[in-house]
Chain A
Amino acid sequence: MLTYLIKRIFEMVPTLFGITLISFFIIHLAPGKPTDIFSELNPKITPEARERLNKYYGLDKPILVQYGIWLKKISTLDFGNSFSSDHRPVIEKIWDRKQPLLQRRLFVTFMINLLAMIIILLVAIPIGISSATHRNTFYDKITTTVVFIGFAIPSFWLALLLMILFGVHLHWLPIAGLKSMNFDSLPLSGKIWDVGRHLMLPLFVSAFGGLAADSRFMRSSMLEVIRQDYINVARAKGLPERTVIYRHAFRNALLPIITLLGLSVGGLIGGSVIFENIFGIPGMGQLFYMSVMTRDYPMVMCILTIGAVLTLLGNLLADIGYMLADPRIRAR
Chain B
Amino acid sequence: MANNTLRGLFWRRFKRNKLAVAGGVIVVLLFLVALLAPVISPYNPDNIDRRHILEAPGPDHPFGTDDLGRDVLSRMIFGSRISLAVGFVAVGISTLLGMIVGALSGYYGGWSDRIAMRFIDIMLSIPTFFLILAVIAFIGSSIWNIMAVIGLTSWMGVARLVRAEFLSLKEREFVLAARAVGASDLRIIFRHVMINSMAPVLVSAILGVAGAVLVESALSFLGIGVQPPTPSWGNILTLGKDNIEIAWWLSVFPGLAILITVLGYNLLGEGIRDSIDPRLWGRE
- Using CB atoms and an 8 Å cutoff, list the residues of chain A in contact with chain B: 14-15, 18-19, 22-23, 26-27, 30-32, 148-149, 151-157, 160-161, 163-164, 167-168, 175, 266-267, 269-271, 273-274, 277-278, 288-289, 292-293, 295, 300, 303-304, 307-308, 311-312, 315
Contacts and interface: CB of A to CB of B under 8 A. Distances in A.
B35 to A, nearest CB: 23
A229 to B, nearest CB: 19
A164 B258 contact: no
A312 B244 CA distance: 38
Contacts of B217: 154
Interface stretch (B52-60, B129-137, B191-199): B129-137
Determine the interface band of chain B, counting residues with CB < 8 A from chain A. Answer: 35 or more
B267 interface: yes
Interface string B100-141: 000000000000000000110111111111110111011100
B138 A32 contact: yes
A148 B262 CA distance: 10
Given A148-B267, A168-B244, A304-B130, A289 B259 contact: no
Contacts of B119: 18
Contacts of B65: none
Contacts of B266: 148, 151-152
Contacts of A154: 214, 217-218, 221, 255, 258-259, 262
B125 A157 contact: no
Contacts of A267: 129
A27 B127 contact: no
B218 A18 contact: no
A304 B134 contact: yes
A160 B131 contact: no
Given A18-B118, A31-B139, A295-B138, 15 more contacts: A19-B122, A30-B135, A148-B267, A153-B262, A154-B218, A160-B241, A168-B244, A270-B127, A273-B133, A278-B241, A292-B138, A307-B126, A308-B126, A311-B127, A312-B125
Interface string B212-226: 001001100110100
* Most B Cβ at <10 Å: residue of A151, A152, A292, A295: A152
A31 B50 CA distance: 39
Given A157-B255, A160-B241, A26 B131 contact: yes
Contacts of B128: 266, 270
Given A23-B131, A154-B214, A304-B130, A160 B125 contact: no
Interface string B240-260: 110011001001100100111
Given A22-B123, A30-B138, A157-B237, A274 B222 contact: yes
Nearest to B128: A270
A156 B237 contact: yes
Interface of B: 118-119, 121-131, 133-135, 137-139, 210, 214, 217-218, 221-222, 224, 237, 240-241, 244-245, 248, 251-252, 255, 258-260, 262-263, 266-267
A181 B113 CA distance: 57
Nearest to A157: B255
Nearest to A266: B127
Contacts of B267: 148
A26 B137 CA distance: 12
A135 to B, nearest CB: 13
A160 B244 contact: yes
B126 A163 contact: no
B127 A307 contact: yes
Contact of B259 (A14, A153, A175, A295): A153
* Max chain B C-beta neighbours (<10 A), residue from A26, A154, A293: A154
A148 B255 CA distance: 16
A160 to B, nearest CB: 5
Given A149-B259, A149-B263, A157-B255, A270 B130 contact: yes
A288 B259 contact: no
B221 A308 contact: no
Given A30-B138, A160-B237, A273 B222 contact: yes
A176 to B, nearest CB: 10
19 contacts: A15-B122, A18-B122, A31-B139, A151-B263, A154-B217, A154-B218, A156-B221, A156-B237, A157-B258, A160-B255, A161-B255, A164-B248, A266-B124, A266-B126, A266-B128, A277-B222, A292-B134, A304-B127, A304-B131
Contacts of B218: 154-156, 274
Nearest to A209: B214
A148 B131 contact: no
Nearest to A16: B125
